[in-house]
Amino acid sequence: MSGAPSDDLETLLARSVRLREAGRREEARGQLLALRARFPEDARVAYQTAWVHDGLGLEEAAVPHYVDAVAGPGLSAEERRGALLGLGSTYRTLGRHADAVTTLSGAIAEFPEDNALRTFLAMALYNVGRAHDGMRLLLSVLAATSADPDIVGYRPAIEYYARDLDAVEGGSTPAPE
C-alpha cells in the first residue's frame, strides 16, 4: 500500500476535477482549496482551483491561483495554455485590461497558432483602446478558421483588409475567388 503524498494528491485532484465537471463546483472548490493548503506549490492544483473559482463567478479569487499555476513548471502544454487563457480572460473580466493584454500577448508568444488566445487578445486590445489592432487580429482569425462558404469566398479580401484595414482598393472590396 502506497501512502505517498503524490498518490494521495493524484486521487484527490482527479476526484475534485470530476466534481467540477459534474457541476458540483462548490464541493469541488472546497476540496481544491484543501488541496492548495496541502500542496501549495503544485501548479495543477492551482490551475484547477482557479478554474473552479472562475466557473463560480469568483474571478477575483481565481487570479492568485492562475498566477501560481503559470509561475513555474508542472503543467502540461495544454494546461498551461488553458491557464494563460483563463488568467488573461479573467483579468479582462475584472477590468484589468492592460494585464489581460500582457498575459494574452505572452501566451500567444508561447502558443502562436492558438486562435482562442488570439480572439481573447483581440477583445482585450479593444478594451485598451486598440480597436484597430483587435479588429485586424479578429479578421485574421476569421479568415483562417471559417468554413462558412460566404466567408471562404471572401477570404482573400478579408486577409487583405486584416493586413491594412484602412486600405481602399479602387474604392471597392476585392472580388471573391
Q: Using one digit for the tens of pLDDT, what is the confidence trace for 130-169?
A: 999 999 999 999 999 999 999 999 999 999 999 988 876 6
For every residue of the chain, which 3-state class applies, written as one string? CCCCHHHHHHHHHHHHHHHHHCCCHHHHHHHHHHHHHHCCCCHHHHHHHHHHHHHCCCHHHHHHHHHHHHHCCCCCHHHHHHHHHHHHHHHHHCCCHHHHHHHHHHHHHHCCCCHHHHHHHHHHHHHCCCHHHHHHHHHHHHHHHCCCHHHHCCHHHHHHHHHCCCCCECCECCCCC
Q: Does 138 reside within a domain?
A: no
Q: Does 163 reside within a domain?
A: no
CATH number at residue 50: 1.25.40.10
Q: Does 155 reside within a domain?
A: no
Buried b (16+ CB within 10 A) or exposed e, 165-174: eeeeeeeeee
Q: Does 166 reside within a domain?
A: no
pLDDT band at 176 (very low <50, low <70, confident <90, very high): low
Q: Does 140 reside within a domain?
A: no
Q: Does 152 reside within a domain?
A: no
Q: Does 21 reside within a domain?
A: yes
Q: Using one digit for the tens of pLDDT, what is the confidence trace for 10-46?
A: 999 999 999 999 999 999 999 999 999 999 999 999 9
Q: Does 49 reside within a domain?
A: yes
In order of 17, 104, 118, 163, the CA distances from 139 in angstroms are: 35, 17, 11, 9
How many structural domains compose the chain?
1
Note down the domain range covering 41.
5-130
* The pLDDT of residue 1: 40
Q: Is the pTM of this model over 0.85?
A: yes
Could you give the CA distance from residue 18 to residue 24 in angstroms, rounded to a whole number?
9
Could you give the CA distance from residue 81 to residue 103 in angstroms, rounded to a whole number?
11
